[in-house]
Structure 1
């Protein structure tokens, strides 16, 4: 009994210590976080946010979810892929291009031009444990809140397969079949994320090291295909899949 109490108290103290450092960590993280979307000058609104991304490596490469990217751009009307952020108190826009995409793990790598952004370091997602506290920063409801990134926190409530077997074949679709054939584990979070959070960095509240990428669409299609109404559960893709993508293009 005393041993169990000691473990609980120790875990509580670690969580308190992590939260104590979060305000300083958020200050460091926010400048590296961008909104990802499209821009078309003749459209109203001209800017449309589709998700979140964050700068890594050299400050000119950014990670996000693959599903955040538009399937097709209206290039004939001047629509471009872009990232949006605040710098020196002003709203900024940079044109972005897709460098690489890992669709099975829903990760995409973008590149921008101009002055490098502050970057986030990548942590070790293999060391993430259930019950550990993490934070994520992004643009939860798109353009509604403007270019002001929002931070949430929560514990990793489970490390779980991306797809689970279904009771009847009628529940299967091609995407679920592919994920059942090539399963991998994702982080289930005790925190509320919104569609605009897709692509947000999940990071250590003390160090800011990124261990995952928040995912609000891709994972839920697999995990919650039996539910008539989606749950409020949030998920994150382990950062090791993004590291693999970086290695493939020679950035690691």
Structure 2
């Protein structure tokens, strides 16, 4: 053995019969130390790097998450096409765009009547252009009793208008101006409207001074039945403000479709805030068409007026007849005041609106059977439906 290679020796106390010298190879031990040291350095560097990287990344993410321009970072990941469609729909459905699209087709209507000093303003309202050739829909009460009607377009041009037809029962009227290529509204489908949908009302609130006013709210209720002056109106209820002058203007959805014709008169006697009403556009379409074509609405009519009654034992319930119109189907059939109509067409009726709803499913000239309670007896009569004059 070469003595030059012996660098170190360890001495141990052992028994005599086991005594011997153990030699350690210093070169081998040195290599192990180097490997261990290198491993420690790598481990420390990795841990330090990981902590530092996590800190930097978290700091970056935190700063981006709370910046308004980076809201997409906190939203679920979406397909690019979905994000694009959502963005485009938001633009298309904005209230601003509805106002810009529908506004030009909304007009101001001035009702003038003869007085001691000539023509004087008797009232004002709004209207919507439904045909580019000058056909305009408004409320009956806006043009009622007018000796002269003028229309102010969104361009501020003022034109004389003539009344084509009115229907007091629905509070609708169609007037016409001599003009071409006018902007028009798009009539929607009110059957697709849901409670809670956004509703936008456009019109001349409080007159021409506030022309083109836009108010927004939600659809509060659908298929409301409001009674006014003996007529039953089927309306849409909204909390969008409908002020004097808004009558006759459009109630729109977020796509700019007209879903109703605003009417301040309907429900005015309720005297409640946040309750505006519009005539359902699906109810109005047929009426508008009839007014444009013939100037009137042909609808069946029983010819009675009365109120709902119920006996103490609940056995007799129906409509107590207060008045029967002369020459009407009811009069010809022998129905008279003090009768109580309990059924029409085999369906029980509780009030006048129930009767109207049944009659509306028929045509003028058709027959319906009515069950009547008279003098303690129940009798049945057949009534031929007459034509209702909506302007009575």
TM-score for both structures, normalised by structure 1: 0.71
- In the alignment, which residue of structure 2 is the partner of 1:82? 150
Aligned to 2:264, which of 211, 216, 221?
Answer: 216
Asked if 1:236 is matched to 2:278, the reply is yes
> Using the alignment, how far apart are the partners of 1:44 and 1:103 within structure 2?
27
The structure with the largest alpha-carbon Rg is 2
Q: Cα deviations across residues 11-53 of structure 1 (Å, max 9, x unaligned)?
A: xx9xx9488522122111111010011358x979976751100
Q: 1:175 to 1:39 in 2, by over 3 A?
A: closer
> Using the alignment, how far apart are the partners of 2:132 and 2:92 within structure 1?
28
1:59–1:119 CA contact under 8 A, matched in 2: no
Residue correspondences, number: 206
Q: 1:242 to 1:18 in 2, by over 3 A?
A: farther
Asked if 1:162 is matched to 2:225, the reply is yes
Task: Name structure 2 gaps, 5 residues minimum.
Answer: 1-85, 295-392
Asked if 1:192 is matched to 2:266, the reply is no
- In the alignment, which residue of structure 1 is the partner of 2:212? 149
> Using the alignment, how far apart are the partners of 2:107 and 2:122 within structure 1?
13
Aligned to 1:57, which of 131, 139, 163?
Answer: 131
Q: 1:157 to 1:98 in 2, by over 3 A?
A: same
- In the alignment, which residue of structure 1 is the partner of 2:253? 204
> Using the alignment, how far apart are the partners of 1:45 and 1:140 within structure 2?
23
> Using the alignment, how far apart are the partners of 2:97 and 2:122 within structure 1?
30
- In the alignment, which residue of structure 1 is the partner of 2:70? none
Q: 1:45 to 1:61 in 2, by over 3 A?
A: same
> Using the alignment, how far apart are the partners of 1:137 and 1:59 within structure 2?
21
Asked if 1:26 is matched to 2:99, the reply is yes
TM-score for both structures, normalised by structure 2: 0.47
> Using the alignment, how far apart are the partners of 2:247 and 2:121 within structure 1?
18
2:106–2:154 CA contact under 8 A, matched in 1: no
Q: CA deviation at 1:152?
A: 0.8
Q: CA deviation at 1:236?
A: 0.6
Q: 1:246 to 1:115 in 2, by over 3 A?
A: same
> Using the alignment, how far apart are the partners of 1:53 and 1:129 within structure 2?
25
Aligned to 2:167, which of 102, 109, 115?
Answer: 102
Structure 1 consecutive aligned stretches of length 4 or more whose deviation exceeds 6 Å = 42-48
The one of the two structures with greater contact order (alpha-carbon pairs below 8 A, sep at least 6) is 1
- For 1:195, what is the secondary structure of its paired residue? coil
Q: 1:132 to 1:44 in 2, by over 3 A?
A: farther
Q: CA deviation at 1:241?
A: 2.9
Task: Name structure 1 gaps, 5 residues minimum.
Answer: 1-12, 74-79, 165-173
- In the alignment, which residue of structure 2 is the partner of 1:7? none
